[in-house]
Structure formats: C-alpha cells, structure tokens
Structure 1
Amino acid sequence: MSTPKIDVQVISSSILSDDVLMLGESLMKQLKIPAQQHLVLQFGSFRHSVTIVPVPRYEGLRISQTLARRMCIFSGIPLRIQYQTATRTLALGPLIGVLISRDNSQQLEKPFGDITMFCREMTDACRSQGAYVYFFTPSAIGSNLSSVEGWVYTKGWLKMMLPAPDVVNNRLTSRKLENNPIVQQFMKEIKHRYGAHVFNEKFLDKSEVFDALKKDSSLQKYLPESHSLQNYTMLKSMCSRYSAVFLKPVRGSLGKGIIRLSRIGPENWQASYATVGGTKRQTYTSLVKLFSTISGKMKTVRYLVQQGLTLIEIGGRPVDYRALTQKNASGKWAITSIVGRTAGTDHFVSNLARGGTLSTVRESVAKSNLPVQFRGDASSRLQRAALDIAKGVDTHIPAHFGELGIDLALDTSGRVWLLEVNSKPSKNDNTPLKEGKIRPSVRMIIQYARFISGF
C-alpha cells in the first residue's frame, strides 16, 4: 500500500478552471505524472479530462470549487492518489460505498439508527487512512447506476449525489433488500462498467455452508453431521444416531427458531424451543408425534437437522465462540477477535439479545467444565479452525467475502466444532463502541478496501 496520501485543497473557480489541477512538483516526479498534458481524472465512476500544473514546494492537490462540487469533495480531506501510465489516468480514492438497509432523514443525529456510531467510526477510519466513505440504501440507487444519493459526514450528516464507488461493502440485513433487482443490477453493472469490487455480496444459508465445506476433507473434522430436513425418515435416522439433535432454520439468525430435540426415555422426546423469554419445552410420547407437530412449520421454513453436541458449560449454561475473520491489507484472512458467549439463564443459544454474556476465550475456558488437559491450547485451536473455515468458504462458495463471523464451539473433550458462518457480522456484537475510538475491525475493512481497489 504505497500510494501517497495527499490533502485536497479547494480553490475558487475564478482562480482555477475546472479542467486544471495543481499538484506538488515532487509528487508528480515520484508518480511520473506528465505536466500540461490531457489526462483523465477518476474518482469512483466519475471521469473528467484535466491537465496538471506542478507546484514547487507543495505537497497537496488543488482543485476548483466547481469540480470539487461535482465530485462531492471537501477542502482538507485526505485522499490516496495513483497514476496509471497506460491509460493516462490520475485516480483519487478509494471511494467506498457502504450499502445499508435503512436511513431516516428526520433523525439527523442518528439517521441510521443503531449503526450510526459505526458509520461515524467508518468515516473517522477513512479520514485517517486517506479514503472517502459514504452510506446509501437500495432506494438511493439512481436509474443510470453511475450515481448514488448517499450520506457523508462532515460536521454533521449530509445527503448528496455521489459517483458510484470503487468498493461496495454490502451491509444489508435483509435478503429481500439484497435480492431487489435494482441492487443486483447496480452491483453487476458497477463491477462490469467501472471495475468496482463488492464484498460480502450475499447472505449465506446454513445448508449451503455445510454442503460446501463437506467437500473439503481438511474441514470435515469441524463439521457436525448435518442434512437438509426433508422428511420423517431423515429425522428418524439422525435421532437413532444421536441422543440430541438440533433443527435450525436454514436462513435463521440470532438463534431464532432453533429447536433442540432430546431423548428422555426409550420412546419419549422433548422439544426445546428457543424463545426471547427463555426455553419453552414440550414432551412427546413418540418421534412421529413430534415430527407431525413440526411438519407444519416445514411448509414455510427450511430446516437443517444437525448432530447435537455436548458443549462446554459455565454453571450449566452452554458456551460458544464468535470469531471475526477479516481479509487484511494483503488480502489474506486474519483473526480480528474471538469472544466467548455464555447463554443466559434458561437459554440454550448464546446471543446477547437473549441475555448472553461476553468474555475472553481464556476466561470462559477457565470457568468452564472443560477438563484441564484440554484447556492449554484451546485459544489457538479456535483460531486455527476459524481461519481454516474462512478460507474454505472463500474456496468453495462462489462469492466475494471480506469478513465473516464464524460461530464455533468446544465440546467436553476439547474438540472444536463449527456452528454457523455469518456473512453479515454485526458491528455491535463483539467490542463496545466508544465515541472517537476506531476498532481494529473497522480499520481492517478500510485496509482491505484499499487493497482490492489498488490504493
């Protein structure tokens, strides 16, 4: 990442014309930018013909007020600069667009609800790294697909028409929005027309992940036996092999809709339902009766049936782990954080929304019922598994991911298991947001955006 970072200075249009830029002389020599020749200025999808005038003993870039307005650039913002000799293109950027689900123009203090502070954090991270970020919703995509009505932060939130970005970070939280034809067309078009990159471009469902990873022999050790639940025969087969199985909605998140089936006698089975208020339990005198109850749900919800695991516990409450894996400044997968999540009282899923609590891996292992001989390398084994699985998803699922939330578990014999992979990991889940603080996970998003866009 050797592209220089420069400060942009906006000059009155009566002094500087729109087709002339003024650039520090030493930087022009360093980047081999020819003076007084027609070049293409590029900023995201924006293109404009300019000539460059060298300025001795000056480090920045001066552009006219009118040109700055067209590009939505403000005086004093830092940007990266690169010159492509073959195409005679002077590129500024990277221009990053974060695609979010909703905004509210009536709430200028918190236009994006709970993720407003994350968006501020992204803005601060971009300023420190010399990138430009804006935030937009599906409804803000223009019909010509080369411009977007986005939000930028400068002494407050402003909405303006911006060029289509170099990089899109897809943070949509709804499949319906993601599958909107205008969203799909926009992502396809900017990749094709402007060479843009879109990462975390799609949701994952549980069947897709487990089916893809099964093909990799090196990952099978992490995978509980899992199948799409098609019929009673499949359920009976799994229940004959395991004393407990889980039914998980293929497209569920936050632990919603998970059912745990446990054998409580020769014929009797108990179904435990994860609800916001706690676990709801129901007993059935036969597996057939249990299946007939859930078969109604199967008409609208596709389920994965999965081997039940004996997870480590703290005070009778199960523990699992959320690993945030991200691609770094070199485009390689790295572990940003791993946190232990202990389920709330009378819950068997660990989500914070359901009373779960966070701890470090070391703390959770030390307090758990994991035998002492398996504790020493638990952290490194979780890290190894998270990296292996992230690389496996990248290899076997045809989509571009830059970060993945990988849910793992340790069983009471110390074995690491994969529970779930989330392609839209929450930014409010792992480390608390603090005003003015930029978390490593946010820095990493910008570094990866710079890597894939060449800045």
Structure 2
Amino acid sequence: MGQKLVGILLNAAMHRGVPRLKTGQESLESYEEAAAAYGLTPCFLKLSDIDTGSGYSIAYVKGPNGYRSAVIPTPDAIHNRAIYDPGSQGVERILRSGVQVYNTCNRYGKDQIHGLLEQNEGLRGLLPATSAGLAGLKEMMDSYSDLILKPCRGSIGQGVMRLSRNSPGHWTWSYLPGGSNSWASTAVHQDALPRALRARLASAPYLVQERIPLAELGGRPFDLRVTVQRGWGGEWQVTGLFAKRAAPGGFVSNIARGGEALDSIFVLEQAFSGPAAAGIRMSVLAHSLSIARELEKNLPGLADIGLDMGITGKGRIYFIECNGRDQRYGFRKAGLAGTWKESYRKPMAYARYLLDHPAQHNSY
C-alpha cells in the first residue's frame, strides 16, 4: 500500500484551530495514528478551500514543525466531520468532481430517521410510539402518561422537554430555560397548555414520543451509545458501545447535559443478572447493525453513525435516535481508550478501502 492522502473535512471554526491543536473533541493525534496504520496521510480541509476546477486544495498537513497550510492535490477520499444539511451545494460540487466523500451528510431529522426505520417491519418493534407537533402532542396526551418532546433537528439534548401526567388533565412540564443546565418544572393543564410550550412547538418541528421507562443505575436512567462504522471491506461493524447515565434528577443522558459515560458491561451487569445482561448486549449489537443497513438504503454515503439505544427495566430494547456525526469522546470518558482509538481507525480503514476500490463507493 503506497502512501496516499485522505481528507478530513472540518467546519471552519474547528479548522482554524488545527495549527494550535485546538479542535475540541476531535483528536488530531488519533487521526494521524489511524491514518498511518493504513498508509495514509491525513489532510485537514474546509469546504471553501477545495477547488474542484483545478483539482487542488489548501489543507493543513503535519510536518516537522507542526501543522502548516499547504496546497495539495485534492484527496480522492474525504471523511466528512463538518455539519451539512442534505443536498449541501458545496458537498454536491465535490461529489460531482469525482471525489469520494463519505458521511456525505451527517445532519438528519429525527422524524426522517424514524420514518425510514418504520418502513422495515422487523425494526418497528424497536420504535417508541411517535407523533409530531402540537396536534400530535394533544393526541399523545390522551394515550400516554409520560412523554418526551424532541426538536427534529436538535442535538446534544437541546430543546428536549418532558410532560408527565400527575392526575387526569394535570401534568408537569419539565424543560431547560434558555442558557441554563438546570431543569425547571411547572404544572400545566391538558386543556390550557402554556403559551411558552405552544411557542416552542410552533418555532420548530418537534417529535412527540412516549417516554421509555429506561432501566436505572443508582436511581438514574441510562441508555447505550453504539458506534457503528464501515471499515476495511466496506461492511458495517459495531466498533463499541458505552452507557450514558443521566445526571441526578435529570431525564436526558446526553454527556453535554450533565450525563455520565460508563462502561456498558459494568452498567448492564449492575442493572440486570449476568446472563440477561449478556443477552441484552448481544441483541443491542445485532439491532444496531440492522438499523445501519436499513438507513444506508436511503442515505447515500452513510459510513459512521452513533445510535442511542434504550433498555427498559424489563429488558426491552428501543431505538432512541441516530447521530450522524458521532461524538466519540464518550469512549474516553468511560475509560475505554482502546475503543476510542478504534473509532478513529475504522474510518481511516474505510478510506483506504475506497481508495483501493474506487468503484465500491457508488455501490453503497
């Protein structure tokens, strides 16, 4: 395998931090190690520096004195780690030039993902009851006593709310006030929902779902983050998983909202008996692969996702949501340094596979 270039596409703010090694949760060192293992040199790009006309780009490449900007031939394979909506003109321009961009789009609406999975009869049983908008909320309040409201385009738990019934017609509304990480709660009546709640639902598309009665550890609910990636050979593989436990008194497990990352084996064995824990883990892995294979049918370029999977106290498994740009740092926080490194190696292995088998990209 000869040394070849692989592009890592970053958003402009993160890209500016490359020469100062200030890239947030993205580990430049891990990219370098992973790429080297497959005979690749990583080049860190931003969209506006890719010139499809000339076939050259400006990128940060590591040298003896750190990262320096250089003009390079545009890599034939680019791993997208920036956030772009479906149909981004900039990304489409690169694809038309013949460059293989994987994780082409990594921002999908929760409603879109739910709709795609709902088409698969074998996966429907993993989906919580779901509706949308204010009309859907009123309908769901008649049928369920505990609801989660999630913005279709939200991330890291932003905008998530909960409605829990106390008695007929009387509910508690829990939400995060703007700029706060402390949950607020207020009593509401089903027939007179507060203007602020209605305004939130009117300001952006929302999913309304039955709240899954998640299994708990130490009185705090948890779910599982499963990283599913393509590596060498192009097939989907589960790289690893960890548990996310909600902060005390919270109901969302997002690490950015005070959640805690823990080893999934430890958490499952604490919450369930040994044989049950092992069975749940194996089922979660199998379901995660099935979900990835179903989504790829309609989402071109999909190659690297994080799935949130919930488990009830009785061991039933649910799909919660799909993250198109998986934040891998949870593995490190959970003490799973080897898996964290592997989550960087898989995308580089896939890049090498695409470079050596360029026709394969169009078949996925």
| Same fold at TM > 0.5 | yes
State whether residues 95 and 101 of structure 2, in contact with CA within 8 Å, keep that contact through their aligned partners in structure 1. Answer: no
Query: Which string of whole-angstrom CA distances, capped at 9 and with x for unpartnered residues, describes residues 212-241 of structure 1?
Result: 110000111111112222x33x22221122
Is residue 248 of structure 2 the alignment partner of residue 349 of structure 1?
A: no
Pick aligned residue for 2:41 from 123, 128, 132: 132
Query: What pairs up with 1:201-280 in 2 under 5 angstroms?
Result: 201-202=104-105, 203-229=107-133, 231-232=134-135, 234-274=136-176, 276-280=180-184
Q: In the alignment, residue 24 of structure 2 is paired with which amino acid?
A: D
Aligned to 2:356: 454
Residue 282 of structure 1, CA deviation: 1.1
Gaps of 5+ in 2: 358-364
State whether residues 320 and 342 of structure 1, in contact with CA within 8 Å, keep that contact through their aligned partners in structure 2. Answer: yes
Q: Distance in 2 between matches of 1:197 and 1:274?
A: 40
Closer/same/farther in 2, CA of residues 374 and 434 from structure 1, 3 Å limit: closer
Residue 438 of structure 1, CA deviation: 7.9
Alpha-carbon RMSD? 2.6
Residue 124 of structure 1, CA deviation: 2.3
Pick aligned residue for 1:339 from 242, 261, 267: 242
Query: What pairs up with 1:75-224 in 2 under 5 angstroms?
Result: 79=3, 93=4, 95-101=5-11, 102-103=13-14, 108-110=19-21, 112-115=22-25, 118-142=27-51, 144=53, 146-155=55-64, 156-173=66-83, 175=85, 181=89, 183-191=90-98, 196-202=99-105, 203-224=107-128
Residue 139 of structure 1, CA deviation: 2.9
Q: In the alignment, residue 121 of structure 2 is paired with which amino acid?
A: S
Query: What pairs up with 1:291-302 in 2 under 5 angstroms?
Result: 292-302=195-205
Residue 141 of structure 1, CA deviation: 2.5
Q: In the alignment, residue 381 of structure 1 is paired with which amino acid?
A: S
Residue 352 of structure 1, CA deviation: 1.6
Residue 185 of structure 1, CA deviation: 4.2
Q: Distance in 2 between matches of 1:431 and 1:109?
A: 22
What secondary structure does 2:139 align onto?
Answer: helix
Closer/same/farther in 2, CA of residues 254 and 104 from structure 1, 3 Å limit: closer
Q: Distance in 2 between matches of 1:258 and 1:438?
A: 27
Query: What pairs up with 1:352-363 in 2 under 5 angstroms?
Result: 352-363=255-266
Q: In the alignment, residue 298 of structure 1 is paired with which amino acid?
A: L
Q: In the alignment, residue 283 of structure 1 is paired with which amino acid?
A: A
Is residue 330 of structure 2 the alignment partner of residue 429 of structure 1?
A: yes
> TM-score, normalised on structure 1?
0.72
Residue 380 of structure 1, CA deviation: 0.6
Pick aligned residue for 1:313 from 209, 212, 216: 216
Is residue 315 of structure 2 the alignment partner of residue 414 of structure 1?
A: yes
Residue 274 of structure 1, CA deviation: 4.1
Q: Among all aligned residue pairs of Structure 1 and Structure 2, give the percentage whose two residues are the same amino acid.
A: 24
Q: In the alignment, residue 360 of structure 1 is paired with which amino acid?
A: D
Residue 339 of structure 1, CA deviation: 0.3
Residue 254 of structure 1, CA deviation: 0.5
Gaps of 5+ in 1: 7-78, 80-92
What secondary structure does 2:48 align onto?
Answer: helix
Aligned residues: 351
Q: Distance in 2 between matches of 1:342 and 1:451?
A: 36
Q: Distance in 2 between matches of 1:437 and 1:322?
A: 13
Query: What pairs up with 1:16-95 in 2 under 5 angstroms?
Result: 79=3, 93=4, 95=5
State whether residues 102 and 302 of structure 2, in contact with CA within 8 Å, keep that contact through their aligned partners in structure 1. Answer: yes
Query: Which string of whole-angstrom CA distances, capped at 9 and with x for unpartnered residues, describes residues 90-109 of structure 1?
Result: xxx3x311110124658733
Q: In the alignment, residue 134 of structure 1 is paired with which amino acid?
A: C
Pick aligned residue for 1:401 from 291, 296, 302: 302
What secondary structure does 1:339 align onto?
Answer: strand
Q: Distance in 1 between matches of 2:246 and 2:304?
A: 25
Q: Distance in 2 between matches of 1:260 and 1:114?
A: 30
State whether residues 261 and 269 of structure 1, in contact with CA within 8 Å, keep that contact through their aligned partners in structure 2. Answer: yes
What secondary structure does 1:288 align onto?
Answer: coil
Q: In the alignment, residue 323 of structure 1 is paired with which amino acid?
A: V
Q: Distance in 2 between matches of 1:258 and 1:324?
A: 22
Residue 400 of structure 1, CA deviation: 1.2
State whether residues 374 and 413 of structure 1, in contact with CA within 8 Å, keep that contact through their aligned partners in structure 2. Answer: no
Q: Distance in 1 between matches of 2:291 and 2:229?
A: 12
Query: Which string of whole-angstrom CA distances, capped at 9 and with x for unpartnered residues, describes residues 134-184 of structure 1?
Result: 011123233736221111112210101111221111111364xx8764x23
Q: Distance in 2 between matches of 1:329 and 1:138?
A: 26
Pick aligned residue for 1:439 from 341, 344, 347: 341
> TM-score, normalised on structure 2?
0.88
Aligned to 2:360: none
What secondary structure does 1:290 align onto?
Answer: coil
Q: In the alignment, residue 59 of structure 2 is paired with which amino acid?
A: G
Closer/same/farther in 2, CA of residues 143 and 391 from structure 1, 3 Å limit: closer
Residue 435 of structure 1, CA deviation: 11
Q: Distance in 2 between matches of 1:97 and 1:391?
A: 25
Q: Which has the larger radius of gyration?
A: 1
Is residue 192 of structure 2 the alignment partner of residue 289 of structure 1?
A: yes
